[in-house]
Amino acid sequence: MYIRWTLVTDLFFTNYEPFELGPICFKYKDYSCELSFEIEHTGTLKDITVYSKVKSVDFFLRNDDYAKLENLFNNNAKIFKEMIAVSNIFLKAVRVIGRCPRVHEISYKKEEEDIFFERFDLRFSHDGSDEVSKINHKIFYHPSSKGYNDTIDFLLWKWEVVKYIGYKVDIAAEKEFSINAIEQFQLFNNRIAVLEATIGLEIALNNYLKSYFKNHKGLSDSRIKNFLGPEIGLMARVSAMLSLTINDESLSKIDVDKVLLLIGWRNKIVHTNGNIPEGVPDVLILESLNHTLNLIQLLSNKRRYVETGKELRMGNFISLP
């Protein structure tokens, strides 16, 4: 027995050879969840990259207690809430960990329940075969993949996204701000992109320094809190603390001066005229964003190393088009 709904997507996967996407299983509250994928092979690019499209994702919610599952299905408010929560576990992992800025989490108003149930084709089965639809009348609302279309690298999916979904690993806040910055840059909102990137950088740097001072230097929480107080700004921390706590080899691919430029623009936006100074070339904004996003990734990696002693591979450096 199960509750089932379908999310229509246009997620394109890239890889160097044909591949299959297996189901993903995870626990949600008292329920067992399973995601299965309808795939369409779409061809190759320059005989190198294989493209396959995920046309839809089926969500299955299971529980051995028939009455509990049936009651959930019949309670509009509860199933509406749980569908959104479970769907967003998948969508958030794809957006943030899979680096798909055009993918967004689901957001619906309560008065849109019927539209929501029809769009996602909510069904219930007591025997695993015959399915009962939640909506018996049609609202003529056509399913759309808008908000769920982007391109994702298969290896990133295989080694990162599936882990985050299957094991419900917490997604670091700085990763969310990084993907927000990428999205805003692609939408030509450079000012917002700069703000999102600097917020992510501040979170990543502060978390890294807290772990470094606590685990490597043995400082007390009160001393760390005083050091990371507002008196020492982000510009000063990046200028001084990176070279003191991270080796030159790790920083070799990051132009810290361009990161400092971006922080300076952020200060102008917040404290002066609300915008990036006139005359700053777009290519310089692009370069500064790239180096800032990669510094965020490096700091997250170094924080994990300080806390666990295990160095994570950086993977491909982020490069905005």
Domain ranges of the chain: 2-166, 173-308
CA–CA separation, 299 and 242 (whole Å): 9
What pLDDT is stored for residue 32 in this prediction? Answer: 95
How close are the terminal C-alpha atoms of the chain, in Å?
46
Q: Which of 39-48, 64-73, 273-282, 290-299 has the lowest average pLDDT? A: 39-48
Q: What's the mean pLDDT in 97-115? A: 88
Mean pLDDT computed over every residue of the chain: 85
At residue 215 the predicted structure's pLDDT band, cuts being 50, 70 and 90, is confident
Query: What is the DSSP code string of 185-252?
Result: HHTT-HHHHHHHHHHHHHHHHHHHHHHHHHHTS---HHHHHHHTSTTS-HHHHHHHHHHHHS-TTTTT
pLDDT in tens, 276-315: 988 999 999 999 999 999 999 999 988 888 887 655 444 4
DSSP three-state, residue 118: helix
pLDDT in tens, 111-143: 888 888 888 999 999 877 778 887 654 444 444
CB 284 within 8 A of CB 186: no
pLDDT at 48 over 80: no
At residue 152 the predicted structure's pLDDT band, cuts being 50, 70 and 90, is confident
pLDDT at 319 over 70: no
At residue 144 the predicted structure's pLDDT band, cuts being 50, 70 and 90, is low
What pLDDT is stored for residue 142 in this prediction? Answer: 45
pLDDT at 154 over 60: yes
Helix or strand (DSSP H, E) at 291: helix 282-308
Amino acid identity of residue 93, one-letter, is A
Q: ∠ CA(184), CA(187), CA(190), 5° rounding?
A: 55
- Which of 154, 16, 145 has its CA nearest to residue 91? 145
What pLDDT is stored for residue 189 in this prediction? Answer: 94
What pLDDT is stored for residue 33 in this prediction? Answer: 96
Q: What's the mean pLDDT in 205-231? A: 81
Q: What's the mean pLDDT in 214-243? A: 80
What pLDDT is stored for residue 146 in this prediction? Answer: 60
What pLDDT is stored for residue 315 in this prediction? Answer: 46
- Which of 319, 321, 314, 320 has its CA nearest to residue 156? 314
pLDDT in tens, 236-275: 889 888 888 888 888 889 999 999 999 999 999 998 888 8
pTM of the model: 0.85
Q: Which of 57-71, 124-138, 158-172, 228-242 has the lowest average pLDDT? A: 124-138
- Which of 225, 173, 238 has its CA nearest to residue 203? 173
User: Which two structure tokens, joined as six digits, stand for 268?
Assistant: 């102008």
